[in-house]
Amino acid sequence: MITEKSHSGPVAIRFNHVSFAYGSSPVLEDVNFHIHQGDFSALVGPNGSGKTTILKLLLNLERPDSGRITLFEGLAGFKRDRIGYVPQHAGYDPAFPITVKEVVRMGRLKSFSRKFRSVDEEAVTEAMERAGISELSGQPYQSLSGGQRRRVLVARALASRPLLLILDEPTANMDAESEERLFGTLGSLKGSTTILIVTHDQSFVSSLTDIVLCVGDRLKTGTARTVVRHRTEPAADAPPDLFGGKAVRVRHDVALNDTFCCREVKKI
């Protein structure tokens, strides 16, 4: 009999009995889940299921009606500027001439009153190298393809040297080559950075994924949604170019307890 030790390290994200409503319309009810530091997680669910609400709660754009959300428990001095966020859409005025490097530099601007320092320049250079866009440095942002723009936004988020990286629908309108490069970058970050990908694809997730959290299971008592952890399994029938060519299937029929990752799992 072999005993596998599951994750038991510090927690990066914890939702503890969180409920939220827009006015009289309940969205989330009694949501409980946690993600460990260094985990690669996927938050999946159909449009309108509550994924965006969870994002807003994580980014402190909304406050829960009840319950508690904690980030990086036990880490003294944690600030939310250590969260890197890659939005699904981010446009710039075509009339405003801005280069790729200037977009990435925005990731270091905590305030416009602070001067740009050598450490900031080093972080920008490192972020561009990690995202594989160094050769695009001087190009106008508006001239790039959709996939290239997404990688630039990833670099902008990485420039802040985040402890938590959140990506909203990162592969939307992305070509296969850009998708492969993106997941190559994310793979290099796994373990050192906590990564949360938000996606409406409910069938498959990247094979990098440690945890799948499914949003959208309606509670029997009403219309509010909850979050359920599910298992994954290898998928021979996954599209060959999905998630950089490495995808696994989400087992919606196998729900896991939220403490599953913290236990010892015995295999014969």
Q: For position 7, what pLDDT does the model report?
A: 57
In this prediction, residue 36 has a pLDDT band, given cuts at 50, 70 and 90, of very high
Q: How confident is the model at residue 225 (pLDDT cuts 50, 70, 90)?
A: confident
pLDDT of residue 122: 95
Domain locations in the chain?
Answer: 1-78+163-177+190-268, 97-162
Q: Please report the pLDDT score of residue 1 as a whole number.
A: 31
Q: What is the pLDDT of residue 96?
A: 80
Phi (first) and psi of residue 140, to 5 degrees: -65, 135
pLDDT at 19: 95
Those residues whose C-beta lies under 8 Å from the C-beta of residue 266, and which sit 6 or more positions away, are: 1, 2, 3, 4
Task: Name which of 120, 128, 124, 125 is nearest 148 in CA terms.
Answer: 128
Query: What would the mean pLDDT of 31-55 be, rounded to a whole number?
Result: 92
Residue-wise pLDDT tens digits, 155-207: 999 999 999 999 999 888 788 888 888 899 999 999 999 999 999 887 888 88
The answer to whether the CB of 165 falls within 8 A of the CB of 158 is yes
User: CA nearest 207: which of 242, 177, 237?
Assistant: 242
Task: Check if the beta carbon of residue 170 is closer than 8 Å to that of residue 182.
Answer: yes
- Predicted pLDDT of residue 125: 96
**Please, what is the average pLDDT of the chain?**
85
**Angle made by CA atoms 37, 39, 41, in degrees to the nearest 5:** 130
Residue 89 has pLDDT above 80, yes or no: no
For residues 231-259, give the mean pLDDT: 83
Residue 3: pLDDT over 50: no
Inform me whether the pLDDT recorded for 268 exceeds 80: no
Contact (CB, 8 A) for 169 and 179: no
pTM for this prediction: 0.87
Q: What is the mean pLDDT of residues 250-258?
A: 86
CA distance 49 to 222: 14
Residue 80: how many CB atoms within 10 A of its CB?
11
Tell me, what's the pLDDT at 85?
94
Q: How confident is the model at residue 267 (pLDDT cuts 50, 70, 90)?
A: very low
Residue 252 one-letter amino acid: H
pLDDT for the residue 203: 82
CATH architecture of 1-78+163-177+190-268: 3-Layer(aba) Sandwich (3.40)
